[in-house]
Amino acid sequence: MRKKILSTVRTLDTANTPLSRIAILGRVPYTTMVSGAGSGVSRHGDIAISRWRNDGTRDDYGQWCYLRDVLTGRTWSAGHQPVCADASSYHVVMSNDCVAFHRRDGFVETLTEIVVVPGAAAEARRVVVSNLSDAKAEIELTSYQEVVLASDASDRGHRAFSNLFVQTEWLPESASILAMRRPRSAKDQPVWCGHTIATCSAGNGSISCESDRARFI
pLDDT tens sequence across 107-138? 999 999 999 999 999 999 999 999 999 999 99
* pLDDT above 90: residue 158: no
* pLDDT above 70: residue 76: yes
User: ∠ CA(166), CA(194), CA(216), 5° rounding?
Assistant: 60
Name the residue with higher pLDDT: 203 or 62.
62
Check residue 195 and give its pLDDT.
Answer: 95
Contact 112, 127 (CB under 8 A): yes
Of the given ranges (9-13, 23-27, 156-160, 188-192), which has the lowest mean pLDDT? Answer: 156-160
Check residue 58 and give its pLDDT.
Answer: 82
User: ∠ CA(194), CA(196), CA(199), 5° rounding?
Assistant: 175
CB neighbour list of residue 41: distance below 8 Å, 6 or more residues apart: 32, 33, 48, 49, 50, 51, 52, 61, 62
Global confidence as pTM = 0.89
Q: pLDDT averaged over the chain?
A: 90
Strands 176-181 and 166-171: antiparallel
Furthest-apart CA pair in the chain: how many Å?
60
Computed from CA positions of residues 27, 30, 35, 38, in that sequence, does the dihedral angle turn out positive or negative? negative
Of the given ranges (132-136, 185-189, 202-206), which has the lowest mean pLDDT? Answer: 202-206
Computed from CA positions of residues 193, 78, 210, 202, in that sequence, does the dihedral angle turn out positive or negative? positive
**DSSP one-letter string for 5-62:** PPP--EEES-S--SS--EEEEEETTEEEEEETTS-EEEEETTEEEE-----TTT---S
pLDDT grade, residue 57 (50/70/90)? confident
Check residue 77 and give its pLDDT.
Answer: 97
